[in-house]
Amino acid sequence: MNYFFNILLHRNFILIFGVFMGLIFGEYATYFKGYTIYLLGLTMIFSTTGISTKSIFPLKKIIQPFLVGTFLNYVVFGIVILVLAWFLMPTKELFMGFVVIVAAPPGVAVIPFTGILKGDIEYSIFGVFGAFLASIFIAPALVATFSDGSISSMSLFILMIELVLIPLILSRFLLHKRIFNFVSKIRGKVVDWGFAALIFIAVGMNRNVFFSNPKILILVSIVLLSGTFVIGSIYEYLIPKMNIPKERITSQVLLLTIKSSGFSVVTAITLFGKEAAIPSAILAVIVLMYLLFLSIKLEFKKKIS
């Protein structure tokens, strides 16, 4: 019985559950659309408690991972995704959905999966923190550039303050020693179920596409698979030639390929409508598949070594 409940409460099951609930009960998703910003805000508050305030001092030591994390997560990932999406997406809304994904900060799953995959956890924390702060300025500029002026950079800057900076600041209060013991026990489930709820909304609002337009699903998947499996594998193959420690390469691969699907779902729906959220809904599944792939690959290497 305990084994059964452990499966039900596992992150992978919860996220997949959100996808299937969206496909089955998608007609109810629109009722929750107005709460997506609040749901994401709460989820971001809990998820960013994984970034310790003490760990980022002295500031001098975070500069290199700060810059590398930002470069990999926005520039390298962004070039691959936007070039492919520009040529493959049949509508402006779907393309803007990919612009939002590129503008999104890295997924907080980077930090725990760095530990699971035996990477450099401190480096990942610095990289995620840096990319989070950079997103406040990069996202408004990026979205405003590709939206042809229909979205003002200032309105998006305010949205980034609400969804990134304020949750990051509020999360500092949850790190207080009097309440963190409780927070640490529920943090994982709050984050998992929060993101699952956002995925449910995105999938549910676009349920007809999942059932009736496989071409779009295939095209979107090609772009996202290229932005995770393909560039992640290429990076893992090329970078060891530069004498970078193995643990740091693991962290960099995660910083390169993992984006916050929950953040991009909310931003896409808020700014461009439900169709723009389709790439983010599929992103959640692709990222889950990629993290499972990395975990299985690590176990396989252990067995043959």
**More confident site: 244 or 104:** 104
Confidence of residue 49 (pLDDT cuts 50, 70, 90): confident
| Pick from 8-17, 214-223, 231-240: least confident | 8-17
Q: Are 282 and 265 in contact (CB under 8 A)?
A: no
Instruction: Give the integer Cα–Cα distance in Å for 22 and 26.
Output: 5
**Tell me, what's the pLDDT at 59?**
67
Confidence of residue 1 (pLDDT cuts 50, 70, 90): very low
Strand partners, 106: 259
Q: Write out the two tokens for 238.
A: 């090329």
Exposure of 42 in the CB half-sphere (CA atoms within 13 A): 16
- Coil, strand, or helix at residue 104? coil
Distance from chain centroid for Cα 50: 15
Task: Provide mean pLDDT across the span 268-280.
Answer: 91
Q: What domains can be seen in the chain, in order of their start residue?
A: 14-304 (1.20.1530.20)
Distance from chain centroid for Cα 41: 14
Whether 8 shows a pLDDT value over 50: the answer reads: no
Q: What is the pLDDT of residues 80-131, one digit of tens each?
A: 999 999 999 999 999 999 999 999 999 878 888 888 888 998 898 889 888 9
| Those residues with Cβ within 8 angstroms of residue 37's Cβ, 6 or more apart along the chain or in another chain | 162, 163, 266, 270
Q: How far is CA 81 from CA 2, 19, 60, 125, 242, in A?
A: 42, 23, 32, 24, 25
CA angle 48/54/59 to nearest 5° reads 100
- Coil, strand, or helix at residue 8? helix
Task: Provide mean pLDDT across the span 282-305.
Answer: 84
